[in-house]
Amino acid sequence: MAELIYKICPRSLWQEAEVAGSFDGAPVDLADGYIHFSTAQQAAETAAKHFAGQDDLVLVAVKTDALGSALKYEVSRGGALFPHLYASLPLHAVSWVRPLPLGVDGTHVFPELPA
């Protein structure tokens, strides 16, 4: 089974990517020059830090083995290695897309992610 990394983004932005056939990134990705991803262990913290209180989001699971050398793990928050994609995300690399709703406590409710 391929390793998965995760992208959190507004549903409308992902729907545009599905029409276009690839995902070029959210505004922050375009500004930074790469698409930000999180590992399963990092996803909830990423949601809390960068998407607090936002609803109508999706969680996109991406197969790392489909990304090639454009995927780099680089030091970011707290010295942790985060996956960054220096290319557009081809939709064939996407394993699944699921809603990322807000729970009653205001935090995002994640599907079970592999450790």
pLDDT digits (tens, 9 = 90+) for 68-104: 999 999 998 688 899 999 999 999 999 999 999 999 9
CA distances from 7 to 42, 43, 51, 110, 113 (A): 11, 8, 12, 12, 13
CA distances from 109 to 21, 52, 59, 74 (A): 27, 12, 10, 27
pLDDT of residue 39: 96
Q: Is residue 2 predicted with pLDDT exceeding 70?
A: no
CA distances from 105 to 99, 108, 109, 113 (A): 17, 9, 10, 20
- Look up the pTM and report it: 0.94
107 pLDDT band, cuts 50/70/90, is very high
CA distances from 111 to 16, 58, 67, 96, 103 (A): 23, 11, 23, 11, 12
Nearest CA among 37, 40, 39 for reference residue 113: 40
Annotated domain spans of the chain: 4-100
pLDDT of residue 73: 96
Helix, strand or coil, per DSSP, at residue 5: strand
Fold of 4-100: ADP-ribosylation fold (3.20.170)
- Mean pLDDT across 16-36: 96
